[in-house]
Structure 1
Amino acid sequence: MALIDYDPPERFVAGTVGPPGQRQFFLQASGGGRVTSVACEKGQVALLAERIEDLLDEYAPTSSDDDIVDNAPLDMPLDEEFAVGTMRLDWDPASRRLVLHLVALGEEVDETTDLAHLSTPSLRVSLDAGYARSFARRSAKVVAAGRPPCPFCGAPLDPAGHVCPRANGYKR
């Protein structure tokens, strides 16, 4: 199937569509006059941001990333290419770039899988260390911008009301 490759992208961001509690999460790469948007879960975005920071701390602890800030919304219209199932991060020591592979739901992928010959669509994005760190920081902010957590149980507080299992003494 098709491998969509951005090496490097002009822009790569995480963003959402919809109000808190009903947000849909997307990763969006653009460059060369094209835009690719893939749907993902909030937990995937949070984990991706955390793992990118961990990988960069190990392989590129001294990257200059203070001047890279992208707070713009996702590019519209938003045409979803696929929903992300598996994510894989690699570090390319020759180019000193982080390589992110996003594979559509339905494909079994592990560290030995040749991602260039998958039967489902996939997206590959290569980022230098500074841009990758900027992406991770924005992603963490996007995840944190949702509904605040309940101080007792940690579940998201719904504006319409929240039945807290810890405050009631039992879970319904």
Structure 2
Amino acid sequence: MPRIVYRHQPATRFIVSAIGEPGQRQFFLQIKSEVGINAVTLEKTQVMALTERFEELIRELRRGKMASLDEINLTPTEDNDPMELPIEEDFRVGVISISWEENLVVVNIQAATEDDELILDDVDFGPDLIIATLRINQIRGFCERAKRIVNAGRAACPFCALPVDPLGHLCPRANGYRR
């Protein structure tokens, strides 16, 4: 199938947001640049994994001295504004890859497929793809926002750590009694 490639090089906005009530939220990534705007849906676990990988990348860049201290120590670019409307889902996220190229973080976001294999070698065919280039302070700001968004969900049970619904939950550590 022909592939649509959206290029945000450089991206002026790279945020995560969620719509809905805790326990039933839909997570979105919104990426914007001079050429346009894209919104893709993803799972909460993907948001958490992306945040962890970004933080790991920053640690490795600092440790390996691959980025200047000036760049690493820039104040995070926090974007606390809501997503821009209208929110039109371009695709559901399947695979995300992150690389460090020419002093920029390159994020490839590919649409979900049955086998979720990242296809970068064939530009013309494959699932839709978003390529975004970001500075370190942008990904640090992304991480701060992502943590707030993820933590705004349901509270964890103090006994089993599973999410607690507003009406409580059947706790496995309490032999099925409602907590």
Q: TM-score, normalised by structure 1?
A: 0.89
RMSD: 1.9
Determine whether 1:145 maps to 2:152: yes
Counterpart for residue 77 of structure 2: 68
- Specify which of 92, 96, 106 is matched with residue 83 of structure 1: 92
CA distance in 2, matches of 1:22, 1:75: 21
CA contact (8 A) 2:105 2:135 kept: yes
Structure 1 unmatched ranges of 5 or more: none
Distance change >3 Å, CA 13–CA 69, structure 1 → 2: same
- Specify which of 4, 13, 18 is matched with residue 2 of structure 1: 4
- Specify which of 155, 159, 163 is matched with residue 156 of structure 1: 163
Counterpart for residue 121 of structure 2: 114
Distance change >3 Å, CA 143–CA 65, structure 1 → 2: farther
CA contact (8 A) 2:170 2:176 kept: no
Cα offset, 1:66, TM superposition? 2.2
Determine whether 1:167 maps to 2:174: yes
Cα offset, 1:160, TM superposition? 2.1
CA contact (8 A) 1:27 1:38 kept: yes
Counterpart for residue 44 of structure 1: 46
State the AA in 2 paired with 1:89: I
Structure 2 unmatched ranges of 5 or more: 64-68
- SS of match in other structure, 1:54: helix
- SS of match in other structure, 1:103: strand
Number of aligned residues: 167
CA contact (8 A) 1:60 1:129 kept: no
Q: TM-score, normalised by structure 2?
A: 0.85
Counterpart for residue 110 of structure 2: 103
State the AA in 2 paired with 1:122: L
1:31-90 Cα distance to aligned partner (Å, 9 max, x none):
226220000000000000000010111114631342521111111111000000111111
Percent of paired sites with the same residue: 36
CA distance in 2, matches of 1:48, 1:67: 17
